[in-house]
Amino acid sequence: MKKLPFPLVKVSSFKTPSFCVDGRAGKVNGEIYGPYPQMLGASLMPAVLEWLISKPEEDFSKVIEDVFNRLKEFGYSLGVHTSTHAIEGRSDCGFADNLKTILSTFREKTEEIKGVLTKVDVNFSDEIWQKIREILGKVNLKSLPTGKELIGQAESLGAVKQVLEGEHQEVVAVVNLASGKTLDVDKNQEHQAFNLDLWLVREMADKFGWDQNLTDALSLGLYVATEMVLVEGKGKSRLPILINQ
């Protein structure tokens, strides 16, 4: 296993809002927030997971409200982001703006995504992959809100909004399993990385009652599909995946 070229720092999943896996630096109300846990689309990720795992046939907007309220009951702070580059009608959160395309890519390229994960020694049973295919076949992608609508709904439910700055320069996609630690994004601008704190997703899975293997597979599949859409889909080379234990 390759060693991370940058240090991890301690972080509280309860005291600090989660923000996106984005490698760009950002501010909240004009101030640097400090180290924070990272998930796809920030607090939107557990909403997507609950939707896929437990309520794939329900309206996603209703699931978001339910999940955000439960996250607050569990003691988590909520977060989402936009950026200084956001154009009219879009949030510039790649996960939110492209959720339909990301899920479509996951559905259409399940075997390729499985292969990408296998190459970094991440393997799931055939039963898990079959379950994922069934789930992705059930969700109604036509009714998904826009990214701007998703971020607006999140804010209305109490999510803190981070505004990111600068251009994407990520060189690696990190999957971090070290509980209670994360990358210090603001101090990592010379070697930007996407970072998914999978330990936090697992923590939330316990509270929501999700199967961990299914949660891990869906989370990593979504992560790879997001990279395919936002990196490879823009003509760039596939980013290497680095798993940190």
pLDDT of residue 147: 95
CB atoms within 10 A of CB 171: 14
Task: State yes or no: pLDDT of 107 exceeds 50.
Answer: yes
pLDDT of residue 85: 78
Q: Which helix (H) or strand (E) holds 242?
A: strand 241-244
Average pLDDT over residues 119-136: 97
pLDDT of residue 2: 53
CA 220, CA 173: separation in Å to the nearest integer? 11
Least Cα distance to 42 among 77, 86, 90 occurs for 77
CA 50, CA 205: separation in Å to the nearest integer? 9
Task: State yes or no: pLDDT of 86 exceeds 80.
Answer: no
Beta pairing class for 241-244 and 173-176: parallel
Beta strands (DSSP E) in 37-90 are 38-39, 79-83
Q: Which helix (H) or strand (E) holds 63?
A: helix 60-74
Least Cα distance to 203 among 14, 17, 8 occurs for 14
Can you tell me whether residue 156 is helix, strand or coil?
helix
Asked whether 223 and 173 are in contact (CB, 8 A), the reply is yes
- How many residues in total does the chain contain? 245
Average pLDDT over residues 177-205: 95
Exposure string for 176-195, b = 16+ CB within 10 A, e = fewer = beeeebbbebeebeeebbbb
The set of residues, in sequence order, having a beta carbon less than 8 Å from that of 75 and lying 6+ positions away, is 14
Average pLDDT over residues 48-75: 96
Least Cα distance to 219 among 151, 173, 171 occurs for 173
Domain ranges for the chain? 8-244
6, 37, 95, 113, 243 from 2: Cα distances, Å: 12, 22, 27, 21, 8
Confidence tier at 113 by pLDDT (50, 70, 90):
very high
Q: What is the pLDDT of residues 196-222, one digit of tens each?
A: 999 999 999 999 999 999 999 999 999
Cα angle, residue 239 at apex, residues 45 and 84 outer, rounded to 5°? 60
Percent of the chain with pLDDT over 70: 98
What is the number of alpha carbons within 13 Å of residue 138 lying toward its C-beta?
16
Confidence tier at 1 by pLDDT (50, 70, 90):
very low
Confidence tier at 7 by pLDDT (50, 70, 90):
confident
Contacts by residues 228-232 (CB-CB < 8 Å, ≥ 24 positions apart): 228/105, 228/109, 228/113, 229/94, 229/98, 229/101, 229/102, 229/105, 230/94, 230/98, 231/170
Q: What is the pLDDT of residues 45-56, one digit of tens each?
A: 999 999 999 999
